[in-house]
Each structure stands twice: as C-alpha cells, then as structure tokens.
Amino acid sequence: MMKLIVGLGNPGDRYQNTLHNVGFLALDALSSSLSTDRWLNRFKGLISRGSYQGSGFILLKPQTFMNVSGESVLACQQFFKIPTSDILVISDDVDRPAGLLRYRASGGHGGHNGLRNIIQLCGDNHFHRIKIGIGRPNGKQGVSDYVLSKPSQKVAVLIDDAIQQTVGYQKDFIQNKTIQIQPTESG
C-alpha cells in the first residue's frame, strides 16, 4: 500500500520560505530525515519516492500554484491509484497561532484555497491533513499579502519547530499509525 504526502505551497524563488509554503518545508524536512532527496518533475509537481520501515510513500510538491493544487494531486493520485484515504496534505493555517499544529482525518477546506481545489477536483474530502499555524497578520496587512511574506524571526522559530514535529507524524502516517498531535502552547 502506497501513501501520498502532499505539501502545499507556491513554486519559484519569489515564494521560497514564505508562510504559504510551510507544506513544502514540511516535506523537505521529511525528505532530509529519510534521505529521499531525488525530486522528479512529474504530475505538474515535484515528486520523491521512498520507503520507511517497509512502507512505500510518495512526496508531492504541486508546482501549479496554491489555488490549483488539486490538478497535481489528482494526476498523481490517479496514476498510482491511491485511495483518497491514503493521502495526507500539509498546509498553512492562518486561523491557528504560529507553530500550533492541527490534524484531521477528513473535513472541509476551512477557507484554504489549496484544500478547496483538492476537494473539488478529487471529488472527496476524506484525506488526512495537518495544518501548521502561521497566525494572522497584525495591523493593516491583508491575509493574501501576509501568507505570501516571509515570517518574522519569532514566528519563523515557532513554525520551524512545528515543521520538525510533523516529521514524526508523517512517518506515523506512512506506517498507517494513528496521528495524535499533542496540544502545545504558542510563545
């Protein structure tokens, strides 16, 4: 049984290390941990394949831009015949304080356009998801500008800690173990 782990983000140097790209960073952290650093351009995205303790997985970073991530996810899912229940999507969440994680086995998009597009194109919302809190913008900055900006140093530390925590949860998902994110406090 093959698992598909999708990290959401936007392609290109302009968006590298922005708040909206925490999904890409979470996949990079797992890839580094498991030494699966060979990325191939397939399915309108970058994929890397590997195995962890006898369980196979595919990592996917859609290169279609966030709002049409479902195009890449659907193409990969259909090619490898992966049931939606064997997909984990990692994304940012402006409604959670920076660094806080949330796991759901299924559900809605919560206003996230990348998740909305995946649900729409795959025709199913029964995929797993981990949301990484990035917090809301302060002052007059709009949400769109905020998610496409680089985090402050304080927020970056909290998010990096959360990304490192996802590595264990991603490994649990690959092994078909229950993901149980422990409540944490944000500083």
pLDDT tens-place string over residues 118-153: 999 999 999 999 999 999 988 788 999 999 999 999
Decide if 187 is inside a domain. Answer: no
Measured CA to CA, the distance from residue 8 to residue 64 in angstroms comes to: 10
Query: In b/e form, how buried is each residue of 137-150, taking b as 16+ CB within 10 angstroms?
Result: beeeeeeeebbbee
126 is catalytic: no
The residue-averaged pLDDT of 102-116 equals 91
Decide if 183 is inside a domain. Answer: no
Total count of domains within the chain: 1
Average pLDDT, rounded, for the chain: 93
Decide if 185 is inside a domain. Answer: no
Decide if 73 is inside a domain. Answer: yes
Q: Is the predicted pLDDT of residue 37 greater than 80, yes or no? A: no
Q: Is the predicted pLDDT of residue 8 greater than 90, yes or no? A: yes
Q: Which domain holds residue 87?
A: 3-174
Give me the CATH number covering residue 127.
3.40.50.1470
Decide if 80 is inside a domain. Answer: yes
Which of 20, 112, 126, 128 is catalytic? The answer is 20
